[in-house]
Chains A and B, each alone.
Chain A
Amino acid sequence: MIRFEKRPQPSQMFSIATPLLAVVTTMFFGGLLFAVLGKDPVQSIVTIFWEPLFGEFAFYYRPQLLIKGAPLVLIAIGLALGFKAGIWNIGAEGQYIMGAIFGAGVGLAFYPTESVFIFPLMILAGAFGGWLWATIPAVLKIKFGTNEILVSLMLVYVAEQFLASMSLGLLKNPEGFGFPGSRNLQQYDSAHNADIIAGSGMHWGVVAALIAVIFAYVLLARHSLGFAIRVTGEAPRAARFGGVNPSRLILFCLGVSGMLAGLAGMFEVAGPAGQITIDFNVGYGFTAIIVAFLGRLHPIGIMLAGLLMALTYIGGDIAQSQLQLPAAAIQVFQGMLLFFLLAFDLLTNYRVRIGSNEVAT
């Protein structure tokens, strides 16, 4: 008979071990899934995890890890601050879109002027766009007690419609023969978020993600605001008695997460993506929620989790191409990762007892 017994304190060891355990278990069951699909399980797993890092063309894939991982980390850091305080921003995807539109909009407004001031202005505009979109649910929550989960999520769909409108209207490339989509910012030097060292994948968004990790780490570990966030999440009543202003905290957490998501969108549209298009957003805002939890809401953990997610995307595409694994199987594989993480989370708070110490009747 197996029983679960609540630990007096969450286990330190398991809070670090569960993500690793989840990855290993995912590899095992993922391999099983691939085997059922008639593919060599070992080869599949090796292709996903080894090829991008140490394979023949790692020189190309490693920089891609940064490109794919940076927006995930940047968004997840912001989300984690809120999640720690029990403030649930589910609409980072919308804030990401608005950041991209604001950032690209400012850049395109200056086209074709070349100036060093354009890119910094775009960064400010991108951060503002994301902040604005996240502040709507914050204000509604403070003033009317609305649920920020619903409002922020609904605003994603509003942002998507706005994106379509921008791609077809205001920001449409006037030299694009009537096709949707803006000019390509990669071909506009002043607005291009190029690799800082060519081919390294290290664009300004990667730098911003690293700064955000450090900033969040210091905030949570050393700053009184970080303390307020943690206390609010763990004991809301105690926090209130302790003088934490919940309204200010809501504005801060949603505002910062929106700002970081907006920055991620802006760096993406000015760099790797290049254009505002109808399908510009590819789900980074939602995937970042997984990344935040996979990283235990801890800045360093999030950085590693972001890189791991990026690895499964890149490796997944390689496996599709070389082994002809279906895209859906890769998505199931990624889903397993979160599933097992949540499942093993049980071990952090509970210990497993085998056998029964109750008296049998």
Chain B
Amino acid sequence: MPLAGANTYGEVHMKFTKLMTGAALALGLATAAVAEDKTKVGFVFVGPVGDGGWTYEHNKGRLAVEEAFGDKVETVFVESVAEGPDSERVMTEMALNGADLIFTTSFGYMDPTINVAAKFPNVKFEHATGYKQADNVSVYSARFYEGRAIQGHIAGKMTKSNIVGYIASFPIPEVIRGINSAYIHAKKVNPDVEFKIIWAYTWFDPAKEADAAKVLIEQGADVVLQHTDSTAPQAAAQDAGNVITFGQASDMGQYGPLPRVSSIIDDWAPYYIARTQAVMDGTWTSTSTWDGIGAGMVGIGEISDAVPADVKAEALALKASLADGSYHAFTGPLNKADGSAWLAAGETANDGDLAGMGFYVEGITAEIPK
């Protein structure tokens, strides 16, 4: 009896969806006729375009699309869009107004993207960092852990206290993957290295990030790695002196040559240009992309002169081997933190294990918070 009710709602809903889709289709054709030569690309941003980190880099990707295609493309964006129903409304607004391709650039937009995509089968959607695909929804993300390997190497070589501090955001696979990758490569060049991890439970909160950095430095860390987006830890390290840091998401070059000695840069431009081109050519298909240094999605910022020349050369060699695929950042023998075997000697991690990573590798003594 409740099911019958639910079905009726479902049917009505289906009809409405068809109706809306019909309207959208008719509209899509109409706008296509008016602006035949222009491809409209929408971007939904989770932060302000001036955040200096995550959204800033996505917006640079948008500007690169404009520059690459000039008059043939029109881009629109909405910034600081809350995840949930607000994002769903913003995406619908873009689709109704004739967007051909919409990039939704935060994990929390996953279910809203799928919902809106179902109503607009002719509009292509690209969702960053999620795992749900549909005929008109692609997913894309970057192998940031490759950059973490290089940071780990430099950190292991350069630490004198053998304590590396790590400001983590949320205990999710991407962040845990980064910690593991950095640790593996620090340990490789410095068996005495120890990681101290602070969970900030935020992606962007300068005050909290600065506090976390100060605590780590007080506990003896002379390298601070961050998986949060503000420059506050850089400033804290600069004040403390004798501490090195790495830029996160964007170059943060203004803190070089010390404390910032290098950085991981998210470079979305090549991907955004390629996907826009595919829509123009009519060759767009639903894909799952996870690119790293090789494809240019993960950039390594200039390694400053504060890094000894031999360490810099090693870091660049590591970068080259990650880029050409001759080396994988997760290569066995590796055990999990609980002592169980994970990868045999020479074996590399598969993408499935990496995507859902919920454990530390052996040697990290901390616990992943639950």
Q: Is the CB of B83 within 8 A of A277?
A: yes
Select which of A168, A177, A189 is within 8 A of B171 by beta carbon: A168
Give the most central of B2, B23, B369: most A CB within 10 Å.
B2
Q: From residue 41 to 95 of chain B, which have CB atoms closer than 8 A to chain A?
A: 42, 48, 76-86, 88-90, 92-94
Q: Is the CB of A317 within 8 A of B93?
A: yes
Within the complex, what minimum Cβ distance (angstroms) separates B180 from chain A? Answer: 13
Q: Is the CB of A274 within 8 A of B111?
A: yes
Determine whether A179 belongs to the interface, using a CB cutoff of 8 Å to chain B.
yes
Q: Is the CB of B170 within 8 A of A317?
A: no
Determine whether B242 belongs to the interface, using a CB cutoff of 8 Å to chain A.
no
Q: Is the CB of B84 within 8 A of A277?
A: yes
Identity of the chain B residue whose Cβ is nearest the Cβ of A177 in the assembled complex: B356
How far is it, in angstroms, between the C-alpha of A161 and the C-alpha of B170 when the chains are bound?
12
Identity of the chain B residue whose Cβ is nearest the Cβ of A167 in the assembled complex: B170
Select which of A164, A178, A273, A279 is within 8 A of B358 by beta carbon: A178
Residues of chain B with a CB closer than 8 A to A198's CB: 9, 12-13, 15-16
Interface bits B103-136 vs A (CB < 8 Å: 1, else 0): 0000110010001000000000000000100000
Interface bits A112-125 vs B (CB < 8 Å: 1, else 0): 00111000000000
**Contacts A168-B370, A179-B172, A198-B13: A282 and B82 contacting too (C-beta < 8 A)?**
yes
**Contacts A161-B201, A164-B170, A282-B84: A320 and B107 contacting too (C-beta < 8 A)?**
no
Q: From residue 7 to 38 of chain A, which have CB atoms closer than 8 A to chain B?
A: none
Determine whether B96 belongs to the interface, using a CB cutoff of 8 Å to chain A.
yes
How far is it, in angstroms, between the C-alpha of A327 and the C-alpha of B23 when the chains are bound?
29
Interface bits A273-308 vs B (CB < 8 Å: 1, else 0): 111011110100000000000000000000000000
How far is it, in angstroms, between the C-alpha of A190 and the C-alpha of B81 when the chains are bound?
29
Within the complex, what minimum Cβ distance (angstroms) separates B56 from chain A? Answer: 14
Q: Is the CB of B370 within 8 A of A169?
A: yes
Determine whether A43 belongs to the interface, using a CB cutoff of 8 Å to chain B.
no
Q: Is the CB of A116 within 8 A of B9?
A: no
**Contacts A60-B92, A178-B357, A180-B172: A327 and B79 contacting too (C-beta < 8 A)?**
yes
Q: Is the CB of B78 within 8 A of A177?
A: no
Q: Is the CB of B76 within 8 A of A321?
A: yes
Q: Is the CB of A326 within 8 A of B79?
A: yes
Residues of chain A with a CB closer than 8 A to B111's CB: 184, 186, 274-275
Determine whether A216 belongs to the interface, using a CB cutoff of 8 Å to chain B.
no
Determine whether A357 belongs to the interface, using a CB cutoff of 8 Å to chain B.
no
Q: Is the CB of B9 within 8 A of A194?
A: yes
Residues of chain B with a CB closer than 8 A to A114's CB: 2-3
Identity of the chain B residue whose Cβ is nearest the Cβ of A272 in the assembled complex: B85
Determine whether B289 belongs to the interface, using a CB cutoff of 8 Å to chain A.
no
**Contacts A169-B370, A321-B97, A326-B79: A190 and B131 contacting too (C-beta < 8 A)?**
no
Q: From residue 190 to 235 of chain A, which have CB atoms closer than 8 A to chain B?
A: 190, 194-195, 197-199
- How many residues of chain A have a CB within 8 Å of chain B? 49
Determine whether B332 belongs to the interface, using a CB cutoff of 8 Å to chain A.
no
Within the complex, what minimum Cβ distance (angstroms) separates A173 from chain B? Answer: 11
Determine whether A259 belongs to the interface, using a CB cutoff of 8 Å to chain B.
no
Within the complex, what minimum Cβ distance (angstroms) separates B122 from chain A? Answer: 16
How far is it, in angstroms, between the C-alpha of A275 and the C-alpha of B79 when the chains are bound?
22
Interface bits A309-327 vs B (CB < 8 Å: 1, else 0): 0000110011011101011
Determine whether B34 belongs to the interface, using a CB cutoff of 8 Å to chain A.
no
Determine whether A250 belongs to the interface, using a CB cutoff of 8 Å to chain B.
no
Determine whether B33 belongs to the interface, using a CB cutoff of 8 Å to chain A.
no
Residues of chain A with a CB closer than 8 A to B1's CB: 116
Within the complex, what minimum Cβ distance (angstroms) separates B102 from chain A? Answer: 11
Residues of chain A with a CB closer than 8 A to B12's CB: 197-198
Determine whether B355 belongs to the interface, using a CB cutoff of 8 Å to chain A.
yes
Select which of A64, A161, A178, A324 is within 8 A of B172 by beta carbon: A178
Residues of chain B with a CB closer than 8 A to A318's CB: 93
Determine whether A2 belongs to the interface, using a CB cutoff of 8 Å to chain B.
no
Identity of the chain B residue whose Cβ is nearest the Cβ of A161 in the assembled complex: B201
How far is it, in angstroms, between the C-alpha of A197 and the C-alpha of B170 when the chains are bound?
39
Residues of chain B with a CB closer than 8 A to A169's CB: 370
How far is it, in angstroms, between the C-alpha of A235 and the C-alpha of B111 when the chains are bound?
51
Determine whether B6 belongs to the interface, using a CB cutoff of 8 Å to chain A.
yes
Q: Is the CB of A199 within 8 A of B16?
A: yes
Determine whether B20 belongs to the interface, using a CB cutoff of 8 Å to chain A.
yes
Q: Is the CB of A67 within 8 A of B85?
A: yes
Residues of chain B with a CB closer than 8 A to A178's CB: 172-173, 355-358
Q: Is the CB of B355 within 8 A of A321?
A: no
Q: Is the CB of B108 within 8 A of A277?
A: yes
Determine whether A144 belongs to the interface, using a CB cutoff of 8 Å to chain B.
no
Q: Is the CB of B131 within 8 A of A179?
A: yes
Q: Is the CB of B48 within 8 A of A317?
A: no
Q: Is the CB of B84 within 8 A of A272?
A: yes
Determine whether A328 belongs to the interface, using a CB cutoff of 8 Å to chain B.
yes
Determine whether A241 belongs to the interface, using a CB cutoff of 8 Å to chain B.
no
How far is it, in angstroms, between the C-alpha of A278 and the C-alpha of B356 when the chains are bound?
18
Interface bits B4-24 vs A (CB < 8 Å: 1, else 0): 001001001101100010010
Q: Is the CB of A327 within 8 A of B80?
A: yes
How far is it, in angstroms, between the C-alpha of A139 and the C-alpha of B356 when the chains are bound?
44
Q: Is the CB of A164 within 8 A of B201?
A: yes
Identity of the chain A residue whose Cβ is nearest the Cβ of B369 in the assembled complex: A168
Select which of B3, B48, B86 is within 8 A of A328 by beta carbon: B48
Give the most central of B3, B84, B357: most A CB within 10 Å.
B84
Binding site for B on A (CB under 8 A): 57, 59-60, 64, 67-68, 114-116, 161, 164-165, 168-169, 177-181, 184, 186, 189-190, 194-195, 197-199, 268, 272-275, 277-280, 282, 313-314, 317-318, 320-322, 324, 326-328
Known A199-B20, A321-B42; 16 more pairs at CB < 8 Å: A60-B92, A68-B86, A116-B2, A178-B173, A178-B356, A179-B107, A179-B131, A268-B85, A275-B84, A277-B83, A277-B108, A279-B84, A282-B84, A321-B76, A321-B93, A324-B76
Of all A-B residue pairs in the complex, the 8 with the closest CB atoms, nearest first, are A272-B85, A198-B13, A282-B82, A199-B16, A116-B2, A327-B80, A273-B84, A178-B356
30 A-B pairs, CB-CB below 8 angstroms?
A57-B96, A57-B97, A59-B23, A60-B20, A114-B3, A116-B1, A165-B370, A168-B170, A168-B370, A179-B172, A180-B170, A180-B172, A181-B108, A184-B111, A194-B9, A194-B13, A198-B15, A198-B16, A277-B108, A279-B82, A313-B86, A317-B81, A317-B90, A320-B77, A320-B79, A321-B42, A321-B76, A321-B78, A322-B97, A326-B48
